[in-house]
Amino acid sequence: MKRAWQITGTVYAIVFALWAQQSWQLSLTDSLGPGPGFFPFSLSLIGLALSVALVVRIGRGADLAAEPGARADMPVLPSGAALGQVLLVLGALTGVALMLETLGFRIVMALFCLIVLPALGARNWIVIALFAAAASLGVNALFSDLLKVPLPLGVFGL
Amino acid sequence: MDGLQLLLNGFAAALTLNNLVFALTGCVLGTLIGVLPGLGPAAGTAILIPLTFKLDATAAIIMLAAIYYGAMYGGTITSVLINVPGEAASVVTCLDGYQMARQGRGGAALGIAAIGSFIGGVFATLMLTVLALPLAKLALSFGPPEFFALMLLGICLVTGLAGRSLLAALAMTVFGLLLAMIGIDPVRGAPRFTYGIPELLDGVGFIPVVMGMFGVAEILITAESTRHTVIDTRLAAMLPSRAEWKRSAGAIGRGTLIGFFLGLIPGVGAIIPTFMAYIAEKRLSKHPEAFGNGAIEGVAAPESANNSYANASMVPLLVLGVPSSPTIAVLMGAFIINGLTPGPLLFAERPDLVWTVIASFFVGNVMLLILNLPLVGVWASILRLPTSYLCAGTLVFCIVGAYSLKGSTFDIAVMLVFGLIGYVLRKLDFPLAPTVLALILGPFMEKSLRTSLEMSGGDFSILFTRPISATFIAISATVLIVSTLRLATVRAMKQAETL
């Protein structure tokens, strides 16, 4: 857990440093006063200082009980089957983001439910199939037909 | 036109069939969100925003506000029946509510919670009515320095009270403020940090970020478990006995007052009023040993405080334009989506909308009471649905919600990325509330600060020489110093314990 905090703090420090560098390339001041880069540059420096202070503090090992994630023995990331389940959900969401407009809402939602439900522990395939149908057709009807919120039809027009 | 006349006009609009239907829909959906463990009011309200796209602004805000205070009540049901708080503010109710359920008095607990919530909500709305116009008139005298200092105070309060590490909370706040900088510079109109991605010209969407950090992240945490849980719930009689009524009366009154005053302060969060009301009641009780073993005051006080807080927290939003919690920040996002900016100018420019929304709070509280006394068995039955289907259904609505904002899969990608970020940060106990509040307030803060500096020719002392702005900044600094000292004391005590 301590290593995870240090990595997170370091990532934050890198992000803030990059942000400061990008902000520097915008004008910090102009003829009317502070420029578009002024606020983000100042904030990036503050964020960088905070992140470095956090990493140093965790590195010294002092007062861990009051630092974020005080359960030092708890693993941050899951392993084994649990990790597989989390990755499956993330993968399914990624697939939706990539394929929604290509395949259309109904097909993608049905596939999404067929993948995610077993990952979340469902085992009855009849119920899973019914749920997938309801989620794709029912939600599409609710949003497209009733609420007039357009959802993608995809290349198959479904 | 005085406040009473405006409120009466508001009632005339709120009691139209159209607005009544939306208030009722919001109460039902809000209660459902509160009942479902894991899906908090912030993510739930964000997910349901797309349902309001085709509504006019008044109906949309009425429905979303009803979802908010409906969720506050809904969380009570799971706290009492299965010892799992449906949302964070209902944690305290678990202590005595669940014990009452185990003793066969779950119905009485839910009944007193519904009535206490109703009284708390109505009182807070009444006070909102009284305070709104004078506070709005005061706020109209604020200039850019005062608005910047006020928003800074709001952010410092949220940051100072968030989590066990002030450094982490401040870093999360800065992260949120920087995210808010992505898009078009609000003063000069120049693109910033967009890297040629056209979707980023509108900035990082607030709603996908909230759905990701609070909704998707929660479901990823749930996905780690292989349990396919089904919860069994049992319920008997609904109403408390006469003796329980008598014992609850004082608790409801005290809880209402505590919740109301704390709801006026941005950044307090819903948990604090409920805990304070519970502790106050325990200290005042002649039988403090009964608390934690099914004392009805232990349900009445926090539930009254909870709903009183929920309604009172609309005061900083409507009057000052400062959201006091992530859920209120989502409501603020809904205002902005509808082309409205909460704050004192809204009272001047759109009094019809504001007073209709305030009148709808009264109506909504009545609806919640009517809905939740007879329908609690229905809500309890929802808990028997397996968590896998509840989570999958939530994800489906998250996807539709994110896509329908702009008809773009880019927002689904944003939700996914922030879902992953929120998942990791939740595991590490980094507080997420400061990021969300900073994201919504960031553009306003920057615009106020830069306008202030243009007024003063680049001189920062303008923030310290104007009395109101200087006062807000002094309070902000005090909050951060007190938070640092508080955490240092906690650390010293823990070190002493381990030695």
- Strand extents, DSSP E, A1-151: 29-30, 33-34
Residue type, A92: A
Among chain A residues, the shortest Cα distance to B193 is held by A22
CA atoms within 13 Å, Cβ hemisphere of A67? 22
Give helix B297-312 / helix B242-263 axis angle, nearest 10°.
30
pLDDT averaged over 10-residue windows placed end to end, chain B, 499 residues? 80 90 90 76 81 83 87 81 73 85 83 90 89 80 87 79 76 93 86 89 86 86 65 58 86 93 78 85 85 89 91 87 84 86 85 88 88 75 78 88 87 94 87 84 87 86 91 89 79 69
Tokens of A1: 């857990």
Q: Per-residue pLDDT for A103 more than 60?
A: yes
Tokens of B51: 């349902």
Q: Which residues in chain B are closer than 8 Å to A9, comparing Cβ atoms?
A: 171
Residue A126's pLDDT is what? 94
Average pLDDT value over all residues in chain A: 85
Residue A69's pLDDT is what? 47
- Test mutation, A7, A60, A89, chain B, max B CBs within 10 A: A89
Among chain A residues, the shortest Cα distance to B459 is held by A33
Please indicate, yes or no, if residue A156 is contained in any of the structural domains: no
Please indicate, yes or no, if residue A135 is contained in any of the structural domains: yes
Please indicate, yes or no, if residue A43 is contained in any of the structural domains: yes
Are B403 and A81 an interchain contact pair (Cβ–Cβ within 8 Å)? no
Residue B488's pLDDT is what? 76
pLDDT, tens digit, for every residue of A4-59? 888 888 999 999 999 999 999 888 887 767 788 888 999 999 999 999 998 888 88
Domain limits for position A129: 80-146
Q: What angle do CA B15, B264, B358 make, to 5 degrees?
A: 10
Among chain A residues, the shortest Cα distance to B221 is held by A86
Residue B228's pLDDT is what? 47
If asked whether residues A41 and A85 sit together in one domain, one would say no
pTM assigned to the model: 0.80
Among candidate residues B381, B373, B377, B378, the one with its CA nearest the CA of residue B116? B373
How many structural domains compose chain A? 2
CA atoms of B286 and B308, how far apart (whole Å)? 25
Domain boundary among A38, A66, A94: A66
If asked whether residues A62 and A85 sit together in one domain, one would say no
Residue A65's pLDDT is what? 45
Residue matched to tokens 């489906």: B396
CA atoms within 13 Å, Cβ hemisphere of B412? 25
CA atoms of B159 and B479, how far apart (whole Å)? 9
List b or e across B209-234, with b for residues whose CB sees 16 or more CB atoms inside 10 angstroms: bbbbbbbbbbbbbbbbeeebeebebe
Q: Which residue has the higher pLDDT, B98 or A72?
A: B98
Domain boundary among A44, A66, A88: A66
Tokens of B329: 């920040």
What's the burial of B134, exposed, middle or buried (CB within 10 Å: 0-12/13-18/19+)? exposed
- Test mutation, B427, B448, B491, chain A, max A CBs within 10 A: B427
Residue A74's pLDDT is what? 56
Please indicate, yes or no, if residue A74 is contained in any of the structural domains: no
The CA–CA distances, whole Å, from A80 to A84, B73, B223, B224, B367 equal 6, 38, 13, 10, 47
Residue matched to tokens 């004392």: B295
Residues 40-79 of A with CB under 8 A from B: 40, 43-44, 46-47, 50-51, 53-54, 57, 63, 65-70, 76-78
Neighbour tally for A90: CB within 10 Å = 18
